Structure 1
Amino acid sequence: MTAALLDPLHLLPPPTTQPWDALRNQSPARRIRRADGSVVNMPLPLFWYAPDWYLYPLEVSRHLAAAVAQMGVCVAALRSEVAGGDHPSPLHDEAMPRLVPYRPERYGFQCTDFDDAQFVDLRLTLVREPSGRFAFPPAQVARWESDSGKETISGGGWVEAASFPPDVADLMHLGSKIVQIRTLSPSAAVMVSINPIDLDNELPAILDADPDGIILRADRFHLTGIQLAKLIQKTRRIIDDRHSATLPLWIVPGPITADDAAKLIALGASAVAIDAWCQPLREEDFRPPASAAARLGFTDNKTPSAQSHIDAIAATHLRASIERFTGMLLSTLDGSVSERLGTFDQAWAETLGVRFLG
């Protein structure tokens, strides 16, 4: 079980004499306003940012992406990662929340990925693979390159990240790239992913390019709870001062609990990545169990479909955390951070400006 990163923080209840209006927040859904004024709907402020689809069989990836999206979570996936040949994933139904990762080297990307996407994530930063490399493993390349997800065209070796000339030569050209993506994917909000490095210099330049939102990747830096909370507040402050208080700030925090996710929203995040909640899915055997009739060689019409079986597995791992997060989110008070959050730790109170309860 993941330890609570923000355990010293407490979402405050209403004052003793204040009646609680349970209907004040009836929906956790979010509306992301694009630069042109149109709106992209998000059922929940949760997203699966970096699924390693190549670790699952292609048939499992196809159904698992849809299973998680059906629970209201925005799922990141390219068509080449979850659909092979003439077998598209249900994820590409336009009603499902989908995030299209657009990497600098464009590996695995297809023009059809723009079709009916809700979000396009322009990933400006290099991220180390678990082996320590700035590279893509052979199995990942195989999934991108072939319909079966097994054969490779490039020789089967590691492929260095950003080995192609990047689409965005520098931040001065970012604005024109965002305009181009909006033209190619008119239904999508264009997000820009960055690392929490040199925010004071890089983030203002990115905001000047007028993205529809920022995704902050903090998952590879092993931050403490107070460091993560302070980072969100700093990033939110730069966005508010430079651009708009309504511009979405999505955070990729690393391992967190459902309570942590709600507290990150209270601190200023607009949506939270739940990759850690999805991690146990890697250990699952997604093959539907054979019924007694099937084991004896008879046809059994009651055998669950692959989609319904994977739906059930995904719900087993995610449903409780999603419901807990939703409940905490809907019971979070309005107002400033000191009206939403409190702590008995004086150092946390002084650093974050939350209410000191001691």
Structure 2
Amino acid sequence: MTSIQSYGAAFPTLRLSAQAYRDAWGACAAKGLRRKAFCAFDEDPLTLAISAARNALAGGEANAGDVGALFVGATTWPYEEKPAAASLVTALLGTDAIRTAELRGSRQAGLQALLAAAEYVAAHPDRLALAVAVDAPSAAPDAPYEHALAAGAAAFVVGSRPAIATIAGDTAVTMETFGSRFRRHGEAQIHDLELRVDDDAKSLDAVARVQPKQLYTQLATGGSNELAARAARHFGGEPDGLWPDLGDTGAAGACIALAHSLDTATVGDRILALAVGGGATAVTVEVTAQPKHPAGVTEALRGGRDTDYLSYLKHKRVIGAKGAFA
């Protein structure tokens, strides 16, 4: 048995509203979005990952010396070659005697990191594993799919003793996609040919065909309202409803939604965490105790400081004005 011992989340300081897009472009292409969190000029996925992991470690009784492995899922890092996991180990754990692995390539990466942590603990029941999901995808400012792109992180301490929730099962499918959400080697921004081929819906339908039929209390997708509604039709359960204030946090989305579900769940609830993109990964989580230190995802998303679209472009370094960050 593997269990989530504690968990945490982290979001950037700044927020941008859908109204800011409407004022700048005449419309907001992210249907249902109210506001999103985005990285300021001095924030990036690495700073968010450290904050979320620190919150997860502080939220339980974990001794950093008991952490034997760190698994990180993300599609965006400051470096293409140079292990981001090493920076997390240095900042958080104070030891180099630790296994690390970085998962990339799709929005499934964060949930895959959680599964890798669970599998490590199953093989090493006397150790803990730390799983971190983080992302801050970006696209060209004139691309309609850029409007939804946001940033955030969630982290989980996984161990073998009974704790907050048991990781009770998982299912995965892998599918080739063409033209939807890709980023070529050496590029910083994602692309989408917008061929009107709904690869996410196909991935979701595929995992529904092989996922064991169970009764779920909550669905943790971190995805759009449309994706969450489709998942609810397949699996039942109450969608997380985070999209309007979360936006698209890439590989972190499903794990942030899982943290939110754990915040609000009661003992006995069954949660299906679902990450979709190039296929899908589904993880069943059974709640066994109330968390002593909830991540406070809802409160964190409602916080932050709103800014205008021009300042947003400056922080994203689309336009330059030294010292003019607001």
> With structure 2 as the length reference, what TM-score do the two structures score?
0.32
The structure richer in helix per residue is: 1
